Every structure is written in C-alpha cells, then in structure tokens.
Structure 1
Amino acid sequence: MIELCRIRCILIVCTCLLTCNVAADEAVSLEQENATPERKTEAAVGTVRAAPANVESQVKAKASVGAQGKSKNILGEKAQSAVGTAQKATSTVVEARNELKEGVGEGATGTAEPDEKESPQSELKKAEHIDLKEVVTTPLATPMPAATHTAELEPLVVPSVGTAPIVEPSITRDGEAQPQAAIQEPLILLDNEVPPGTSTRLSWTPNVSFMGISAPTAVLVVRGAKPGPTLCLTAATHGDELNGIEVVRHLLYSIEPEELAGTVIGVPIVNLQGFRRSSRYLPDRRDLNRYFPGNSHGSSASRIAHSFFEGVISHCDLLVDLHTGSFKRTNLPQLRANLLIPEVAELAKKMGSIVVVHSEGAPGCLRRATVERGIPAVTLEAGQPHQLQKTAVTHGIKSVESLMDGLGMLDRRPFWKLPSEPVYYQSKWVRATSGGILFSEVNLGDRVAAGELLGVITDPITNQRDEVTAPLEGRVIGMALNQVMYPGFAAYHLGLQSDVEDVNENEGEATTEEGEPIDEPLELDTAIQPSVDELDSRILEDSE
C-alpha cells in the first residue's frame, strides 16, 4: 500500500513539474511574439497559479490516506518541494507578464505595429551626365520593366515641371531689389532628374511585350544651363522612315549643354518594333500614328501611344515630328501645320526657308493630338522611306537649327540658298486613271501649269498609253516613284497658290500626315464590320 502511494505521489509531482515547464515555455514564447500578448499571458499565469494549489491538495489528500510514519514525512517533503517549484514558476510568469505589458504600452505610443508596414515610395533617380558625343562601344543595358500587381498595364506618368525659371532678386546699393539672372531647374522625365547643364540618355519602355523580350527606346536629353523652352524631336513613328532618325541623331549629339537655353528631348526611333522589321506598322499591322493620344486600356497600339504621349510628349513646350513619304512615294522637304492656330503658324515661321503646307492632320496622328493638348506642333516631311537621303537630312537639320535660333535656344544661323519658300494653304492629289507602269516627266519642286504632262502610265500587256496631266496650276510637292500603278493610286501631290482666306475646313480633300489623300470608308457588310479601333488604316486611307 505504501509503495502504491509513493508511486502515485511521484506521478503527481512529475505532472506538476511538467505543467510548470509548459507554462514557463508559453511565457517565453509570448515574450517573443507581438500578437495579442495579454491574452496569452493571462492564460499562462492562470495555469501556473492553479498548479500549486492542485498539487498541494492532491498530495496532502493522498498522503493522509495512504502514507504512514516515515513514508508520510518523505512524501510531505517531496510535495512541499513540488509546491515551491510551482510557486517559483508562477513568479517567473508574472514577471514576464509585466515586461510584456510595458512593451505593449511602448508599442502603442510609438510607431505602427510591425504588420502594418509602410509601402516604399519610389524615389527619383538623378540621371547620369553623359557626353552624347562620345561613342558607345558596348551595347546599352536593357532595363527590365517593373513588375505590376494588376492585369492592366499603366504607363508611367511623371509630374511635369514648369518651364518658368526661378528669378532670385538681389539688393542694390540703394536697398532696392533688382532681379538677377533666371536659374534653370532640373527636369523630371521618365522617373529621372536631369540637372541643368547636363546631357543624358534615358529609356522609355511601353510595357506591352513579354518581360523578357521588352525593348527600351532611347530618349536623348540635353538640359541647358540656361532656362528656355523644351523642344521635342521625334522620328520613326513609322519604322521604315529613316531620314528623321539621322536628323535627331545629328542635332542631339552636336549640342553643348553649356550653350543651350532650355531643353531638347530627342527620340530617334519611336516605333522600335516596326524599325526592327523595316515596317511602318506595329507587329499587329496597326499604324501607331493613328492612335494618339492613346488609351491605357485600349489595344496594343493605343497603349503604346498613351504611354509615349504621357511619358514624353506631355513634357514638351514644342514638338517637331519628322516623317518621310510612304509606300514608294517621296516628299519635297516641307512642313505640315495647322496654320489656322496662331501658335502653330508662329512656330512654322521660325523654321527657315522650307515649304509649308496647311493641314489639320489626320485624326489620331501625333501632331494633331499634341496641338489638341495645347502644345504647338508641326510635321517635317523630307524624302522617301527605306532610304537615307543626304539632301533631305541636311534640309531637316537646317530647319530645326533655324527654329532653335529663332527661339533663342542656340546661336546658330544656317545659311539658306533660297530666302523663302511659299506657303500652300491648299493642295490636291492627282490619281492614276488606269493601271500600268508609271514613268514621271516631272521632278519634285517643279512648277507646272494646268494641263501640263506629269507622267505616263503604260499597260505592259496591251501597250495602252495613258497620260497623267495637272488639273490645276501648282507645284509638285510630293510624288510616287516610278513603279507599277493601279487605278486610283495617288501619283502626284500639287501645292496650290492660295491665301488663308481661301481655306475652308469643311471643303476640299483631307490628307494624311504625309499630305496624302484620305478616302471615305469603304462600304462594308454590317454583319462583319469591325469597330473603328480595329479598322485597318489602309481601308480608311489611301496610304499613310
């Protein structure tokens, strides 16, 4: 009987010790955790506090019933030892509880709890100063686009920086404030800060491709040391137009930031995807120059247009968009501008001795969208696609340099052989009346009289010969190259002598960005008619 009581007492003591150890471990774990420490501490303290009383009552009861003499004394000493151990564990837990309460109090009065982490804010990077005249011997690194948490890809919208310079007053000897020279501010563009008196090379990525194959488009920036307007130059919106690329390259790499008043932003190749394939279109066969200012939730072309327009164009004060003719056509160096807008007309006047053709611009083209945003813009046309033509490139460079000189940005006065060129407020395209092989009898820039022969179209099968004549007196400002023609193909573009009073926006033949005619939409089966966003530009227009 005594042995049985001894065994039972030992088991009870072990249970007590285990309970105390569990309670102590729970208190330690509570000290390491931050979440709900008070509730867990109260539970642990309650468990430990109850342990000594339970152990003491159970040990005394068992000892009084089954223990006698010496065995009873031994069991009593063990019970007292177990009770003391439990009491020590209780005091340890109470101390832990007090420390946790103090820690919770400090956390309440301090910063936010660890689980409420503040989202990191993106900081502007200071653009590295790069001498654009230095030759790059290694390929440029391709930055990976930032990962997005939503399915919709939003373009990077950067807050614009006003062009108004900071003027700090100075105190004269008489104590009167006298304004000092204006101070140029840094330019914020594409999440970068470009300091005054520096030049750099930034990257714009539309983020509409696979992350692993996305290609950044180079954006060249020259931030002048002195304040002035921000002039933007864009080229290769159509990927097969090369002359404008060389114009932008030559200008941006020849400007010294210390001599520049204002900023010049140049994008040599806007449509990089089309340029890589020697195509004027995007990979989905859409014309990028029909989707400006774009839509962040629209088609791929519309998203690219929106990203470029908001990320780059919205920071411009003036825009010159460089183009060439399209589809085996060539253009006399000329400006296309909406001359009914005074700010645009003033911009065109500063571009030197170059033909100016009045045109509002096709809906969705970059020039028109920019003007509608309140930024004066013109299109500079020169030459033909798929070719680098030195004469056209030189004319474009001189025209932009004349503009910068007229704006007071640079002290460059190019020499023009011709003092001035005419302004054509009206123009007309002459179309082929039959199919065959075209051989032109006139050249770009020729002045023709009404009824004068422009070219001959010969049918190679029947040998039938049809002449193409000028319907009105004018000047050849655009023409098709010698090639196979089909009936209705736009062959010659004539600039007509007229005044601004003769312009009627509601009459006359509308033209594309290159001055080519826009036909009315073809009659399509309503059952299969696509939306306007999906309609191919080749259906809406003769060419572009």
Structure 2
Amino acid sequence: MRHRSLSFSLLFVLSGSVAAAAATSVMDESSEAVVIQYPTEPSGVTEQSQESATPQESTQREAGEQPEKPMPKAKSIELDKPVTERDLVAPPESDATEPSAASPVPRSQPKPQPKPQPEAPQTEKPAGHPLQLLGAEVPAGTSTRLAWSPSQHFEGVYSATPVLVVNGAETGPTLCLTAAIHGDELNGIETVRRVMYNLNPQTLKGAVIGVPIVNMQGFHRSSRYLTDRRDLNRHFPGDKNGSSASRIARSFFDEVVVHCNAIVDLHTGSFYRTNLPQLRGDLKNPKVVKLTKGFGSTVVLHSDGAKGTLRRAAVEAGIPTVTLEAGAPMVLDERSVSHSVKGIRTLLNQLGMVSKFRLWGDPEPVYYNSTWQRATTGGIIFSKVELGSTVSKGDLLGTVTNPITNVRKEIRSLYNGRILGMAMNQVVQPGFAAYHIGIQAPEEQISAPEEVTAEAEPAPTEDNTNAGGTQPQETTEEEAVETPQAIDAPPAEERDEASEED
C-alpha cells in the first residue's frame, strides 16, 4: 500500500508539471494578442475618421496645437442707420445662413420636397479683397462699424471708439480719415461722418477707414488733452511700456494706422484760434505732394510735422499723410466742414477710388514758409483782417487794448503773405501767437507728385519710443530742416511751429 501511494503522488506531481508547461507554451504563442492598447483619441472617434483627417490637422494633433479659429466676418450694415450703444461694443458678425448640425429635425414631420425655383441671374462676385481689421474680416463690397479700445485704460473701463469701414467691391488703396485726436476739435468729427455715410461700397475702389473720435477721453471732457493732461498728438508712434498717452498711441498705431496706404488727419486751430482750411504736409515727399494735389482749391503749407505727431510718425513708417486744418476748436463751423468734405471727396476722385468726376476751382498757392506774429502786450485783441486776406509789410493786422489803462498797441505785418490762421477776439497775454502768415514758395522747392497705390502694409516701427521713460515735450519746436529759403522768408528763430500746429 505504501509503494502504491507513492506512485499515485508521483503521477500527480508529474501531471501538474506537464499542465503548467503546456499553459506556458500557449501564453508564449499568444503573447502578442494580450498587449493592452490605451486610446489616444476621445471616445467616438473611429479609425475611418482618423484616416480621413487632413495632414495639417494630424500635424497639429501630434504637436498638441489647436487649429486657429477663423476670423469672424463683419456684417454689412447701413452706416447712416442709428444703432444702440450695445452694437458699438463688438463688431457685427455675419448671420448664419445654414442650419446648425446640432439642431435635430422632428421625425414626425416628413422632409418637405424642394420646389423648383427659376434660375436667378448670376451676379459677379466682388473683385476686391477682404480687409482684416480689429479682429474682424470685412468682405469686399461691405460697409460696417467696428470698435477700437486701447489696452491702456482707467480702472478697467474705457469707452470703445467707433471705427467706420467701407470696403469697396473693387481693389484700390486704403485711405484712413482720423479726427479728434484733440478732444475739443469738432469740425473733423462731422467731416468724417458726412464722408463715410455717403460712400457706396458697391462702386468704391479700395477701402476707406474713418475714426471720428480718436481721443475719446478728451472728447468726453471737452478737452484738448487726455485725462493725464498729455497731448496724444505728441506721442506717436507710441510705446506699449511708456506713459498712458504713449500706450494709447501705440495701440492705435498698431491696430489701425498700419493698415492704411494714406491718411488724412483732421484738426482745427488751438486755444481760441481759427484756421483757414489748409493742408499741411512734407512737400519733400512725392506721395505727400500727390495727396495735396488731390484736394482741389485748398491752401497747402509745407511742414514736416512736430515730433510725436501722427502725421510725422506715419510718414516715417512709409504711409503718406497730410493734416487738414479747418476752423476753430469747440465750435462747429459749416463753412469749414463743407470745405473739408468737398476736399476729401475730390481726393477720392483723384486717387481713382470713386468714378464721379468733380472739378473744383483752381489750385491754391503753396506756402513753403510761415511765421506767427505775436501780441507785444496783454489786453483785448480786435482783428482788422480776415482769414485768407493777403497782406503786405506794414498792413494793420489788429490792435491790443489794455482795459485798465486804455493803452492800445497795434500789430502790423512784418511780411508779405496771406493770413492762414488767427486768434479770435479775446483777452490775450503778452507773446500770444495772434496771426499766422504764409509766405508763398517757388515751384522749384516742391517735389514732383507720385501716385499713391494699394501697397503691402508698411513694416511696423520699432517699439522703442520713450524706452528710457522720458516723454517728448508737448510744446517742443519742430527741428529745422535745411531747405532752400523762399523769397522774403522769416529768420529761422522767428518760425514757430510748436503747439499752434496740429
């Protein structure tokens, strides 16, 4: 019995060893089939959808990047139609024309059979190009209203600045109209409104961008300056790390100005002075000369522009720009507005952006030099001349009377020229700039005009303005440029293109 029990135990052990070996062999043969695969795509993504993915999407998926969202297209609207303030906050997006795929179709209702429709006449697609501006794409043949809001604001609140855009159905240059960089200059606001609201995108060649109020802070306070008492038009192109004014200027320059092929910056006189409608530009620049030629019967004054002005910064960035001065601050002058609107419409015709021909008088003289005559004493000033008057040496311009002593002083012209700007009747301090006299230039001092066309956007200027933390002086005189002197030109030390300009 003992030997029989041992035999059974030995057989049992041997049988167990054979079974284990057999199991191990089976696992070795099927080891490739038991490897666990973890899903790398979200549930519901089939192998077919993975295979149908585009190479760009596959590359973005492998790199962990998300595909860029398409830029929203601006909805075409009628600019002269009143809107609510809520509509000014964000650019109007185009309405969806196709039903959403997520909305289910009721099963109880049969699908309606489409009725045969008569073939509609095929309309030609606009030949123009879409304009990408302020986070929106404005298709060709579209007029819309966008909004610009600088990143620099007070306590997280800044009123959005409306930006009117008319992108024509055909290709052409992009002209920008800016107004109220000084918040108390109202004529430019009305000028931009009248021009923009009367443009037809279906017949326009190119695009027109209008910013009626650049300095919204100053406009709300009826002030020339920003809330930090700085002149915005002395801080362009700006610095994103500079002062509040410099940051606002940098934002406007990067988001609006660089998209322009040409700019007309609208201004008025300053500090209770009024200006004859006139263009100011660097007449050594052929493209700037072309802009001045397009304004019809408008006086032209040569000026490089003070440092920090939008005009000078834009020209240095390769964008021809002129300043259109007309009227006085804090008032709306119908004659100045009408002249400005007529001049800009003539410019649109000269640039080939509108087809309607306008013939407007003979060209006005060009003044390469100018000077300010000042009050020698304080008192009440009364003028004896008017804007646009031609004066000669010795002519009486006005008188200043001391209301206490009754002493009266005369201001007589020291030059032969024309009154381009003058002080309104008011109380003045000694040295107050009272009469701006333009001195006509010989033709050889003016560069030949050069066409302004739709070109590639100019390279952005280096953002290093005021890097050292210093601010440009708001009343710094423009640096003198060595140019041939016009006949009867005032001495360089008597030229004043400081705060009275732009």
Q: Same fold (TM over 0.5)?
A: yes
Distance 1:248 1:101, change over 3 A: same
Amino acid in structure 1 at the alignment position of 2:139: P
* In 2: Cα distance, 1:99 partner to 1:106 partner: 21
1:234 matched residue in structure 2 = 178
Give me the TM-score of the superposition, normalised by structure 2: 0.71
Amino acid in structure 2 at the alignment position of 1:101: I
Matches within 5 A, 1:102-501: 102-103=37-38, 118=65, 121-136=68-83, 139-143=86-90, 183-210=127-154, 212-414=156-358, 416=360, 418-499=361-442, 501=444
CA drift of 1:413 comes to 3.6
Q: In the TM superposition, what whole-angstrom CA distance separates every residue of 1:319-367 from its partner, at most 9, and x where no partner exists?
A: 1000000000000000001111111111110111100000010011011
Distance 1:399 1:284, change over 3 A: same
Distance 1:378 1:412, change over 3 A: same
* In 1: Cα distance, 2:246 partner to 2:405 partner: 46
Distance 1:125 1:181, change over 3 A: closer
* In 2: Cα distance, 1:105 partner to 1:217 partner: 47
Is the contact made by 2:269 and 2:500 (CA closer than 8 Å) also made in structure 1? no
Matches within 5 A, 1:88-107: 101-103=36-38
Distance 1:136 1:372, change over 3 A: same
* In 1: Cα distance, 2:469 partner to 2:418 partner: 35
Distance 1:274 1:401, change over 3 A: same
Is the contact made by 1:425 and 1:500 (CA closer than 8 Å) also made in structure 2? no
* In 2: Cα distance, 1:378 partner to 1:122 partner: 38
The secondary structure found in structure 1 opposite 2:87 is coil
CA drift of 1:100 comes to 8.5
* In 1: Cα distance, 2:469 partner to 2:301 partner: 28
Is the contact made by 1:248 and 1:268 (CA closer than 8 Å) also made in structure 2? yes
Amino acid in structure 1 at the alignment position of 2:386: N
After the TM superposition, which parts of structure 1 deviate over 6 Å for at least 4 consecutive aligned residues? 104-107, 109-112
Distance 1:263 1:463, change over 3 A: same
Distance 1:100 1:480, change over 3 A: farther
CA drift of 1:539 comes to 6.9
Is the contact made by 1:286 and 1:536 (CA closer than 8 Å) also made in structure 2? no
Task: Determine which structure has more spread, i.e. the larger CA radius of gyration.
Answer: 1
Q: Among the aligned pairs, what percent are the same residue?
A: 53
Structure 2 residue 474 is the aligned partner of structure 1 residue 537 = yes
* In 1: Cα distance, 2:222 partner to 2:35 partner: 70
CA drift of 1:536 comes to 5.0
Q: In the TM superposition, what whole-angstrom CA distance separates every residue of 1:281-315 from its partner, at most 9, and x where no partner exists?
A: 01000100011111111111111111111111101
CA drift of 1:117 comes to 5.8
The secondary structure found in structure 2 opposite 1:101 is coil
Amino acid in structure 2 at the alignment position of 1:102: Q
2:106 matched residue in structure 1 = none
CA drift of 1:220 comes to 0.6
* In 1: Cα distance, 2:156 partner to 2:126 partner: 45
Distance 1:370 1:304, change over 3 A: same
Amino acid in structure 2 at the alignment position of 1:338: D
Amino acid in structure 2 at the alignment position of 1:397: V
Is the contact made by 1:232 and 1:266 (CA closer than 8 Å) also made in structure 2? yes
Distance 1:101 1:272, change over 3 A: same
CA drift of 1:420 comes to 2.4
The secondary structure found in structure 1 opposite 2:344 is helix
* In 1: Cα distance, 2:235 partner to 2:156 partner: 26
Which of the two has greater helix per residue? 1
CA drift of 1:215 comes to 1.4
Is the contact made by 2:88 and 2:146 (CA closer than 8 Å) also made in structure 1? no
CA drift of 1:207 comes to 1.5
* In 2: Cα distance, 1:478 partner to 1:381 partner: 10
* In 2: Cα distance, 1:481 partner to 1:336 partner: 21
* In 2: Cα distance, 1:233 partner to 1:255 partner: 13
Amino acid in structure 1 at the alignment position of 2:227: P
Is the contact made by 2:308 and 2:472 (CA closer than 8 Å) also made in structure 1? no
Q: In the TM superposition, what whole-angstrom CA distance separates every residue of 1:61-95 from its partner, at most 9, and x where no partner exists?
A: xxxxxxxxxxxxxxxxxxxxxxxxxxxxxxxxxxx
> Can you give the 5+ residue segments of structure 1 that lack an aligned partner in the other structure?
1-97, 145-179, 504-530
Give me the TM-score of the superposition, normalised by structure 1: 0.66
Q: In the TM superposition, what whole-angstrom CA distance separates every residue of 1:165-216 from its partner, at most 9, and x where no partner exists?
A: xxxxxxxxxxxxxxx9993111111111111111110111102114652211
* In 2: Cα distance, 1:474 partner to 1:141 partner: 47
The secondary structure found in structure 2 opposite 1:345 is helix
The secondary structure found in structure 2 opposite 1:461 is coil
* In 2: Cα distance, 1:436 partner to 1:202 partner: 48
Distance 1:539 1:354, change over 3 A: closer
CA drift of 1:140 comes to 3.1
Q: In the TM superposition, what whole-angstrom CA distance separates every residue of 1:448-472 from its partner, at most 9, and x where no partner exists?
A: 1101000000111111111000001
Q: In the TM superposition, what whole-angstrom CA distance separates every residue of 1:493-526 from its partner, at most 9, and x where no partner exists?
A: 00112325569xxxxxxxxxxxxxxxxxxxxxxx
Distance 1:471 1:105, change over 3 A: closer
The secondary structure found in structure 2 opposite 1:332 is strand
CA drift of 1:136 comes to 2.1
